[in-house]
């Protein structure tokens, strides 16, 4: 039985507590939350779970084997480092840290102590993203031409991070998980429409080895909520709509055919192909439930982290590069090779 402690019971913490409470091989031992009203809510919902306002008390508890960090981004590094140094396995919300340097430090600390470090890139554990990865790996889509995503809504405005670190990190993690290609450069533009606040609109382009390209549109200032991704391949194309209640993934037998036949030199060299559409069956398990179960399996030594520290670091590096490019009005930022 894995004893779990949760730090933070604000926006995401309740989901973490609920999902870990439903895992047979895990037990939520304690929740650390500074707000007295939020602590009282935990006590009413989960009478067997202890609460505290002092994280040192939680980290010192010998019944706690793993710590879940569900707090603002600027606290991720100090809290995760303190938990690792206390000998606890760590699951930390995305993005893992505010900088690549901090991420490297956490990875080194976890490796040195032989502890699990998992990053809460929840979308990776959805049936839709799992199926998309399967389609790409199987070659059904062919070579990937592009990834085009729109992730917009009205709010929730953040005060500590810009819209890239809040929303685009979802797509950056999906890109890392799904595409078998190395990003070589990032370009981004964006702006803030609220004085003194981080950028609330951004457009990001990620360039990969070969001719694969990705574009991500993120926005806190949209009148509608959209979560739609298009992936185009040489054989087939995918539309992934996360807000679709049933058929979140649709595969289209649509594309182009090219010819280098010299007899066609005076004709159009691109032919268009339109075929059937099909919607594959997806795993319906709640993503966070799957992630929580995976974390427990990793702690028990039965699995290797899917969204471990290395992946979390790659996403942070991409977000850092995108932010740097945005500050320079879209000037491309080259990326060093990432493991």
Q: How confident is the model over 71-90, as a mean pLDDT?
A: 97
Distance of alpha carbon 146 from alpha carbon 137, whole angstroms: 15
For the beta sheet containing 221-233, the strands, ordered from the edge strand earlier in sequence to the opposite edge, are: 270-278, 249-258, 237-241, 221-233, 144-154, 213-219, 201-208, 183-191, 333-334
Torsion of CA 288, 96, 168, 163, to 10 degrees: 110
pLDDT, one tens digit per residue, over 265-280 is 455 566 677 778 999 9
| Sign of the alpha-carbon torsion through 297, 66, 48, 46 | negative
Confidence of residue 336 (pLDDT cuts 50, 70, 90): confident
pLDDT of 160 reads 78
Say which residues have a Cβ less than 8 Å from residue 91's Cβ, sequence separation at least 6.
Answer: 16, 66, 67, 68, 69, 118, 119, 120, 291, 292, 295
Q: Specify the residue for token string 């606040």.
A: 197
Q: Among 3.90.1150.220, 3.40.50.720, 3.20.20.70, 3.40.50.300, name the CATH number for the domain at 2-123+288-308.
A: 3.40.50.720
pLDDT, one tens digit per residue, over 51-78 is 999 999 999 999 999 999 999 999 999 9
- Three-point CA angle 64, 169, 136, nearest 5°: 100
User: What separation in angstroms does the CA of 28 have from each of 39, 193, 307?
Assistant: 14, 41, 22
pLDDT of 298 reads 98
CATH number of 124-284+317-334: 3.30.360.10
Say which residues have a Cβ less than 8 Å from residue 54's Cβ, sequence separation at least 6.
Answer: 32
Confidence of residue 156 (pLDDT cuts 50, 70, 90): confident
Q: How many residues does the chain have?
A: 339
CB atoms within 10 A of CB 193: 10
Confidence of residue 255 (pLDDT cuts 50, 70, 90): confident
**CATH 3.40.50.720 spans which residues of the chain?**
2-123+288-308
pLDDT, one tens digit per residue, over 279-291 is 999 999 999 999 9
């Amino acid at each position: 039985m894995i004893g779990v402690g949760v730090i933070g019971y604000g926006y995401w913490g309740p989901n973490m507590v609920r999902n870990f409470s439903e895992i047979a091989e895990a037990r939520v031992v304690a929740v650390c939350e500074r707000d007295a009203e939020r602590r009282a809510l935990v006590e009413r919902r989960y009478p067997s779970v202890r609460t505290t306002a002092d994280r040192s008390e939680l980290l010192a508890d010998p019944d706690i084997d793993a710590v879940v960090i569900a707090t603002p981004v600027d606290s991720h590094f100090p809290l995760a480092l303190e938990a690792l140094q206390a000998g606890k396995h760590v699951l930390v919300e995305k993005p893992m840290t505010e900088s690549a340097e901090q991420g490297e430090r956490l990875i080194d600390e976890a490796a040195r102590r032989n502890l699990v470090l998992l990053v809460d890139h929840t979308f990776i554990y959805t049936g839709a993203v799992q199926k998309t990865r399967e389609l790409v790996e199987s070659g059904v889509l062919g070579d990937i031409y592009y990834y085009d995503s729109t992730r917009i809504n009205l709010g929730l405005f953040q005060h500590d991070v810009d819209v890239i670190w809040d929303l685009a990190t979802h797509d950056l993690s999906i890109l890392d998980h799904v595409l078998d290609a190395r990003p070589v450069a990032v370009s981004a533009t964006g702006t803030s429409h609220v004085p003194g606040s981080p950028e609330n609109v951004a457009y990001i382009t990620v360039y990969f080895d070969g001719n694969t390209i990705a574009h991500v549109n993120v926005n806190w200032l949209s009148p509608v909520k959209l979560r739609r991704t298009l992936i185009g391949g040489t054989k087939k194309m995918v539309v992934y709509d996360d807000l679709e209640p049933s058929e979140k993934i649709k595969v289209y037998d649509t594309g182009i055919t090219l010819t280098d036949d010299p007899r066609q030199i005076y004709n159009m060299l691109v032919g268009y192909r339109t075929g059937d559409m099909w919607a594959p069956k997806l795993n319906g398990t709640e993503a966070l439930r799957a992630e929580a179960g995976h974390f427990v399996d990793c702690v028990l030594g039965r699995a290797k982290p899917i969204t471990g520290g290395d992946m979390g670091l790659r996403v942070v590096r991409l977000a850092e590069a995108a932010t740097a490019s945005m500050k320079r009005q879209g000037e491309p930022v080259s990326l060093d090779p990432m493991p």
